[in-house]
Structure formats: structure tokens, C-alpha cells
Amino acid sequence: MIVAERKAISDILQMIEGAGRVLVVGCGTCVTVCLAGGEKEVAVCASLLRLQNQGEDRDLTVAEATIERQCEWEFARELDELVPDCDAIVSLACGAGVQTLAAQFEDTPVFPGLNTQFIGIPEEQGVWTEHCLACGECVLDKTGGICPIARCAKTILNGPCGGSQDGKCEINPETDCAWQLIFDRLKRLGRLHMLEEIEPPKNWSHSSDGGPRKVKREDMIL
């Protein structure tokens, strides 16, 4: 899932300065699960905007809507009737959701209400951790299902580095060393021999360095 955090209300208020009618839009998928941009968070954000606005004595009306996925046109279109009545949209979705609304509603400014953080998982109540950098060429088959790209601070493919101590990363002693986790996992699976092979330098041409990526499935194109 994509993990995000809400921006400070003061920052959002600054973005929508001058707008009289604002629509706060949530997304019912990843950001609902990470408690940043679901229906409840939309209600909280809208209420905070109204409250802070009262203090500043601005003439601001805040409407609310939550759609299933902001990053898909068919759901974004559900806002077609609401958007003409507003001067600005605050999107509580990931960056893809914000951009989908911006493309869908060309004449209305769309502002990000969240800071998109990473692809991760819920670790425990209220804690999410990064697990994938979307490198474009997954190596989890070689690393026991534990990602050295996202979870090793040095992104090394032949670890651990010399700084791994007591199973913790030298960069942050509160963080598990990804390569210790990989070692333990492969040992448990009886696959430690996997570590005897030197992994060659990664082909980063599949990652985002070459500009925006595109997946094209010829078999699915109509």
C-alpha cells in the first residue's frame, strides 16, 4: 500500500488562500488504510479547515467527498457534479490521486493535502514501514522475500555491510539490518546457499531515473 501523512492544516490553508468554496476529497483505498485520507480523515480535515478559518475570519465553505480510488478515471468522474461548485480541491490521496484529479478537472486548482511517503505495510497500530521502492526489477526471489533495496539503508545487493551490529543497522540502531533479516530468513528456509552467489550490479534502467515509467500490456489493450 501507499503510505502518506496529512500536511499541517496551516499549510493547507495557505494553499487554498483566496478560495471561497473548497472540496476536500478522500480516497477509499491505501490512504484509508494508513489513516491519512479516508472518509474519517476527510471529515477531520474539513472540520479543522472550518475551525481555523473561523479564527481567521475568512469566508470559506468546505464540502467533503470520498471516492473509492482517486487514481482511476472512472472514480474521479464521480466528482463531476461537485467540482463546478468549488474554487479549489484539496486531495487527501497519494500524489497519483492528486494528479488524476488535476488532469480530470483542468479548470480547478487541485492541492495536495498529504505528503506521500512510501510503499509499505502497517507494522502495528499507528506504525507503517517502507518495504518497496518500486525498482522495476524485483530481487525478492534471491533475498528470502525481504527487500534490500528499500530496507537496507545502503541499498546493497551483497550484504551485510561492515556496520551491521547485533542485527541492527549502523545507520539507525532502532532499525533491523535488512541483511541480517535476509540471512535469518534464508537460514530458516534452508536456502543459505543463495548467499554464496555474488549479485551483479543492479540494472537501474528499470527504475525511475530515466523519467516516468509506463507499463504497456499489449494483450490488454483494446
**Interacting residues toward ligand SF4 by CB under 6 A:** 132-135, 138-140, 147, 149-150, 152-154, 156, 159-161, 163-164, 169-171, 177-179
Give first-to-last CA distance, the chain, whole Å: 28
Whether the link from the prior residue into 112 is cis, omega within 30° of 0, is: no
Residue 132 Cβ vs ligand SF4, minimum distance, rounded to whole Å: 3
What residue type is assigned to position 222 of the chain?
L
Question: Smaller CB distance to ligand SF4: residue 84 or 173?
Answer: 173
Our CB check for ligand SF4 shows the closer of 30 and 110 to be 30
Residue with cell 486548482: 109
Beta-ladder partners of 64? 24
Neighbours of 212 (CB within 10 A): 5
- Shortest distance in whole angstroms from residue 142 CB to ligand SF4: 9
Edge to edge, the sheet with strand 127-132 lists 2-6, 114-124, 127-132
Q: How far is the CB of 144 from ligand SF4 (least distance, A)?
A: 12
Of 24 and 181, which has the nearer Cβ to ligand SF4?
181
Residue 71: CB minimum distance to ligand SF4, A: 19
The phi, psi pair for 141, rounded to 5°, reads -65, -25
Complex with ligand SF4: residue 102 or 133, whichever CB lies closer:
133
Q: Least Å distance between CB 48 and ligand SF4?
A: 35
Q: With respect to ligand SF4, which residue has the nearer C-beta, 84 or 167?
A: 167
Q: CA distances (Å), 67 to each of 18, 39, 108, in order? A: 26, 9, 18
